[in-house]
Amino acid sequence: MNQTVVYPGSPYPLGATWDGKGVNFALYADNATGVELCLFNSTDDEVEAVKVMIKERSHQVWHCYLPDVKPGQLYGYRVHGPYEPQNGHRFNPKKLLIDPYAKAIAGTINWSDALFGYKMGDPEEDLSFSDVDSVPFIPKCVVIDDHFDWEGDEPPRIPYNESIIYEAHVKGFTKQHPDIPEEIRGTYAGMAHPVTINYLKELGITAVELMPVHHFVADRHLVDKGLTNYWGYNTIGFFAPDARYAASGVLGQQVTEFKQLVKALHRAGIEVILDVVYNHTGEGNHLGPTLSFRGIDNASYYRLTEDKRFYMDYTGTGNTLNAYLPNVLRLMMDSLRYWVLDMHVDGFRFDLAAALARELHEVNRLSAFFDIIYQDPIISQVKLIAEPWDIGEDGYQVGKFPPGWAEWNGKYRDCIRDYWRGADSMLGEFAERFTGSSDLYKNDYRSPTASINFVTAHDGFTLHDLVSYNDKHNEANLDDNRDGEDHNRSWNCGAEGPTQDEAVLTLRRRQQRNFFATLLLSQGVPMILAGDEFGRTQQGNNNGYCQDNELSWLNWKERDNDLLQFTRQLIALRKAHPAFCRRRWFQGQPIKGIGLEDIAWFLPDGAEMSDEHWSHDFAKSMAVFFNGKGLHVSGPKGEQIVDDSFYIIFNAHYEPLDFRLPHEKYGHNWKKMLDTKDLQVKAGEEVYAGEGVINVDARSVVVLQHKLKH
Residue 233's contacts (CB-CB under 8 Å, 6 or more residues apart) are 212, 216, 277, 317, 351, 545
Catalytic status, residue 459: no
Q: What is the dihedral sign for C-alpha 636, 640, 644, 646?
A: positive
Per-residue b or e along 70-98, where b marks 16 or more CB atoms closer than 10 Å to that residue's CB: ebebbbbbbbebebebeebbbbbbbbbbb
Residue (of 347, 172, 174, 204) closest to 275 by Cα position: 347
Task: Establish whether 486 is a catalytic residue.
Answer: no
Dist CA 699 CA 654 (whole Å): 6
Task: State the Cα–Cα distance between residues 683 and 668, nearest whole angstrom.
Answer: 18
Inter-residue contact 392 to 434 (CB < 8 Å): no
Per the residue annotation, which of 257, 346, 351, 675 is the catalytic one? 351
Q: Which of 252, 307, 232, 316 has the alpha carbon at shortest distance from 104?
A: 252
With left for phi above 0 and alpha for psi between -120 and 50, is residue 107 left, alpha or beta? left
Instruction: Give the torsion through C-alpha atoms of 623, 627, 628, 632, to 10 deg.
Output: -130
* 391-to-140, 302, 355, 371, 397 alpha-carbon distances in Å: 33, 17, 8, 23, 11
Half-sphere exposure of 214 (CA within 13 A, CB side): 28
Q: Is-cis flag, bond preceding 181, omega within 30?
A: no
The neighbour count for residue 452, using CB atoms within 10 Å, is 26
> Does residue 237 contact residue 171 with C-beta atoms inside 8 Å?
no
Q: Could you tell me which residues come within 8 angstroms of residue 64 by beta carbon, excluding any fewer than 6 positions away?
A: 6, 7, 8, 9, 24, 25, 37, 52, 54, 55, 56
Q: Provide the residue type at 616 as one letter.
A: H
* HSE, side-chain direction, 13 A CA sphere, residue 291: 33
Q: Please, where are the H alpha helices in 225-375?
A: 253-267, 293-297, 326-341, 368-375
Beta-ladder partners of 210: 168, 274
CB under 8 Å to 101, separation ≥6 — which residues? 13, 14, 15, 16, 26, 27, 239, 331, 334
The sheet carrying 621-626 orders its strands as 599-602, 621-626, 645-651, 700-706, 669-675, 687-689
Q: Phi, psi at residue 431, to the nearest 5°?
A: -65, -40
- Contact between 432 and 398 (Cβ < 8 Å): no
How far, in Å, CA of 109 to CA of 116, rounded? 12
Q: Which of 209, 257, 387, 407 is catalytic?
A: 387
Q: With beta carbons less than 8 A apart as the criterion, state whether 413 and 466 touch.
A: no
Q: From CA 551, how far away is CA 231, in angstroms rounded?
A: 13
Helix axes 427-434, 410-421, angle to 10 degrees: 130
Residue 205 near residue 532, CB atoms below 8 Å: no
Rounded to whole angstroms, the Cα distance separating 452 from 587 reads: 21
Q: Alpha helices of 485-576 — where are they, by DSSP H?
A: 502-521, 561-576
- Residues with a catalytic annotation lie at 351, 387
